[in-house]
């Protein structure tokens, strides 16, 4: 079970804005005009007025030259900064797939568990289905030594992290680890703040391929600046490392993280529940879904919205609900990080996690995240454009009872008269050619997922 954690968040919406201040003088009466030269004769006044005009013109010119120079300098700085700071690690061209210890095991992590998870990922067929990363979440670390090096829990990881990563690599898998951008992790283990470059070098030396970076205990730190330091540190480490930002959507990372991380959490922590919320910020599947609406345009190859790790198989939902949870994450091009005990899962759960046709939607190379195209009375249609021009569709029934749901071709951007082949991805069955629309009976809290190919 998850424990309540100390999150130490800052208030949401604390974004930064850059203001350009326009240096132009405003038009209008000169307040000094009536007094200027009032005791002079007309010709003198004219000369004096011309001199005044010339001085003002000169001042304005200087002002605008200075302001132009400042603007050019600022623009070149921004351009240079943009070049220096773009995330360009070439990783996660499709959403990362793997397993993470947190949702099921919380702080109960050990090298035995991680090795067994790697074994199970291969034996269960998950590796064949595309899962790659084995990630240890919080609680593997206990302290720093006198030189500031991060120290792993020697009781739980007696052979050390390098040996564990070698084991995972020997299975043909990749190895991931967790830390935090603040001074301490959410379970109060040492955080990365101030040690970013040292930690990144250590992770590279350990053979780390994936870093999840949390946001607890960040005090007054700026999120974009803090995560950018670690991005730069990882880039300097010399090893390609997927960078997974976990700041829970609190400072709208979709607006700034495209150049910082390969994926960013969009919400608080997922609960192993179809619906509901917890005071500490936990959210059920449908609450998370609602928060994804509108974020689609920010995702794409190399930079993904992350609605949190999977709960499939953890016991709190029915098979129908788990199938729907998995389908919706695939429709959203979400990272697929299994969070159950994959050593002992039932064949039903394994079949959900390894459904290759549904995974192919998640991993579609176009990388276009799906969106909700229609909703009424708890019945929803979600659609996603695929690389070959076809569509993936999830008919989602949020009510408790079976109901019919219809998707029309115009809902998907297709003309009404088009004939298209429909295939059910869970039944693994072709449903024939349909024109204009498709209707299915969908179980309560369930999904019917199809592809529609003209
Ligand atoms: C936060 C994260 C979780 C998990 C825990 C670990 O709550 O959002 O995914 O990493 O911390 O303490």
pLDDT tens for 216-234 read 999 999 999 999 999 999 9
pLDDT exceeds cutoff 70 at 376: yes
State both tokens at 36.
């200027």
Q: How far is CA 338 from CA 56, 131, 206, 207, 334, in A?
A: 70, 9, 23, 22, 12
For atom 1 of ligand 1, the residue with the nearest CA is 186
Name the band, by pLDDT with cuts 50, 70 and 90, for residue 39.
Answer: very low
pLDDT exceeds cutoff 70 at 94: yes
Name the band, by pLDDT with cuts 50, 70 and 90, for residue 66.
Answer: low
> If residue 47 lies in a helix (H) or strand (E), which one and from where to where?
helix 42-85
What pLDDT does residue 441 have?
98
What pLDDT does residue 135 have?
99
Cβ of 177 below 6 Å from ligand 1: no
Whole-number Å distance, alpha carbon 121 to ligand 1 midpoint, is 22
Long-range contacts, 432-441 (Cβ 8 Å, 24+): 435/409, 436/408, 436/409, 437/406, 437/407, 437/408, 437/409, 438/393, 438/406, 438/407, 439/404, 439/405, 439/406, 439/407, 440/395, 440/404, 440/405, 441/402, 441/403, 441/404
Cβ of 269 below 6 Å from ligand 1: yes
Question: CA-CA distance, 202 to 197, in Å (whole number)?
Answer: 9
Whole-number Å distance, alpha carbon 206 to ligand 1 midpoint, is 22
What pLDDT does residue 62 have?
57
State mean pLDDT over 430-445. 98
* 8 Å CB contact between 245 and 92: no
Question: CA-CA distance, 147 to 154, in Å (whole number)?
Answer: 18
Report the first-to-last Cα separation within the chain, whole angstroms: 46
Question: CA-CA distance, 226 to 241, in Å (whole number)?
Answer: 17
> If residue 374 lies in a helix (H) or strand (E), which one and from where to where?
strand 371-376
Name the band, by pLDDT with cuts 50, 70 and 90, for residue 28.
Answer: very low
b/e string for 348-384 if b means 16 or more Cβ within 10 A? ebbebbbbeebbbbbbbeebbbbbbbeeeeebbbbbb
Q: Catalytic one among 137, 180, 209, 269?
A: 269
Name the band, by pLDDT with cuts 50, 70 and 90, for residue 197.
Answer: very high
Cβ of 180 below 6 Å from ligand 1: no
| Residue 126 CA, distance from chain mean position | 23
What pLDDT does residue 366 have?
98
Question: CA-CA distance, 454 to 287, in Å (whole number)?
Answer: 33
Name the band, by pLDDT with cuts 50, 70 and 90, for residue 87.
Answer: confident
Active site residue 269: yes
Cβ of 247 below 6 Å from ligand 1: no
* 8 Å CB contact between 98 and 174: yes
For atom 8 of ligand 1, the residue with the nearest CA is 269
Q: How far is CA 304 from CA 208, 215, 367, 434, in A?
A: 20, 18, 9, 33
Tokens 């390969």: give the residue: 262
CA within 13 Å, CB half, 11: 3
State mean pLDDT over 121-128. 98
| Ligand 1 pocket mutation pick from 6, 9, 102 by most atoms within 8 angstroms of CB | 102
Q: Catalytic one among 137, 180, 199, 214?
A: 214
Q: How far is CA 401 from CA 4, 317, 396, 397, 443, in A?
A: 33, 16, 12, 8, 6
Whole-number Å distance, alpha carbon 112 to ligand 1 midpoint, is 21
CA within 13 Å, CB half, 434: 19
Cβ of 362 below 6 Å from ligand 1: no
Name the band, by pLDDT with cuts 50, 70 and 90, for residue 65.
Answer: low
Whole-number Å distance, alpha carbon 214 to ligand 1 midpoint, is 7
pLDDT exceeds cutoff 80 at 13: no
What is the pLDDT of the chain when averaged over all its residues? 88
Atom of ligand 1 nearest to the CA of 186: 12
Whole-number Å distance, alpha carbon 278 to ligand 1 midpoint, is 15
* 8 Å CB contact between 314 and 272: yes
What pLDDT does residue 64 have?
59
Active site residue 214: yes
Q: Pinpoint the alpha helices (H) of 94-222.
A: 102-105, 111-123, 126-129, 161-170, 196-206
| Ligand 1 pocket mutation pick from 250, 269, 337 by most atoms within 8 angstroms of CB | 269
* 8 Å CB contact between 372 and 380: yes
Question: CA-CA distance, 268 to 5, in Å (whole number)?
Answer: 12
What pLDDT does residue 63 have?
57
CB-count burial class (<10 Å; 0-12, 13-18, 19+) for 64: middle
For residue 439, which phi and psi values (nearest 5 degrees)?
-125, 140
| Nearest-5° Cα angle at 130, 335 to 158 | 80
For atom 12 of ligand 1, the residue with the nearest CA is 186
Atom of ligand 1 nearest to the CA of 246: 8
What pLDDT does residue 186 have?
98
Closest CA to 358 of 334, 340, 339: 334
State mean pLDDT over 260-282. 98
Output DSSP code: residue 20. Answer: P
Question: CA-CA distance, 361 to 370, in Å (whole number)?
Answer: 10
What pLDDT does residue 160 have?
98
> Is the Cα dihedral 263, 264, 270, 275 positive or negative?
negative
Q: How far is CA 12 from CA 222, 249, 290, 364, in A?
A: 12, 8, 17, 32
* 8 Å CB contact between 6 and 216: yes
For atom 4 of ligand 1, the residue with the nearest CA is 102
* 8 Å CB contact between 179 and 141: yes
Whole-number Å distance, alpha carbon 196 to ligand 1 midpoint, is 19
Tokens 């790659």: give the residue: 132
Cβ of 102 below 6 Å from ligand 1: yes
Cβ of 136 below 6 Å from ligand 1: no
Cβ of 161 below 6 Å from ligand 1: no
Q: How far is CA 82 from CA 19, 71, 76, 87, 161, in A?
A: 17, 16, 10, 10, 35
Cβ of 137 below 6 Å from ligand 1: yes
């Amino acid at each position: 079970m998850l424990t309540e954690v100390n999150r130490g968040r800052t208030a949401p919406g604390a974004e930064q804005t850059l203001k350009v201040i326009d240096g132009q003088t405003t038009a209008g009466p000169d307040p000094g005009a009536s007094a200027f030269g009032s005791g002079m004769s007309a010709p003198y006044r004219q000369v004096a007025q011309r001199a005044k005009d010339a001085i003002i013109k000169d001042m304005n010119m200087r002002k605008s030259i200075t302001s132009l120079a400042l603007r050019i300098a600022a623009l070149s700085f921004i351009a240079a900064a943009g070049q220096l700071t773009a995330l360009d690690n070439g990783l996660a061209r499709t959403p990362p797939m793997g397993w993470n210890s947190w949702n099921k095991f919380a702080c109960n992590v050990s090298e035995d568990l991680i090795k067994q998870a790697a074994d199970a990922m291969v034996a269960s067929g998950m590796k064949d289905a595309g899962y790659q990363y084995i990630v240890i979440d919080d609680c593997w670390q206990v302290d720093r030594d006198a030189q500031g090096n991060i120290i792993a829990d020697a009781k739980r990881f007696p052979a050390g992290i390098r040996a564990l990563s070698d084991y995972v690599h020997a299975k043909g898998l990749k190895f991931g680890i967790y830390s935090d951008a603040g001074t301490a992790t959410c379970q109060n283990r040492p955080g990365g703040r101030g040690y970013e470059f040292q930690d990144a070098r250590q992770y590279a030396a350990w053979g780390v391929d994936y870093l999840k970076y949390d946001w607890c205990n960040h005090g007054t730190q700026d999120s974009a600046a803090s995560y950018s330091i670690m991005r730069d540190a990882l880039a300097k480490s010399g090893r390609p490392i997927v960078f997974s930002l976990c700041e829970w959507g609190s400072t709208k990372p979709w607006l700034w993280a495209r150049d910082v991380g390969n994926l960013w959490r969009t919400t608080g922590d997922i609960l192993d529940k179809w619906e509901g919320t917890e005071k500490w910020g936990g959210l059920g599947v449908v609450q998370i879904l609602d928060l994804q609406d509108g974020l689609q345009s920010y995702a794409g190859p190399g930079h993904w919205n992350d609605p949190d790790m999977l709960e499939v198989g953890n016991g709190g939902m029915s098979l129908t609900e788990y199938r729907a949870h998995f389908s919706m994450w695939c429709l959203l091009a979400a990272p697929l990080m299994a969070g159950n005990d994959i050593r002992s899962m039932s064949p039903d759960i394994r079949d959900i996690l390894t459904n290759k046709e549904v995974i192919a939607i998640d991993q579609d190379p176009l990388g276009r995240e799906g969106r909700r195209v229609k909703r009424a009375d708890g019945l929803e249609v979600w659609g996603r454009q695929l690389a070959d021009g076809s569509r993936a569709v999830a008919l989602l029934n949020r009510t408790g009872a079976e109901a019919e749901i219809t998707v029309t071709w115009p809902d998907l951007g297709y003309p009404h008269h088009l004939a298209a082949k429909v295939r059910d991805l869970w039944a693994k069955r072709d449903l024939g050619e349909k024109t204009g629309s498709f209707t299915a009976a969908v179980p309560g809290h369930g999904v019917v997922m199809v592809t529609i190919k003209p």
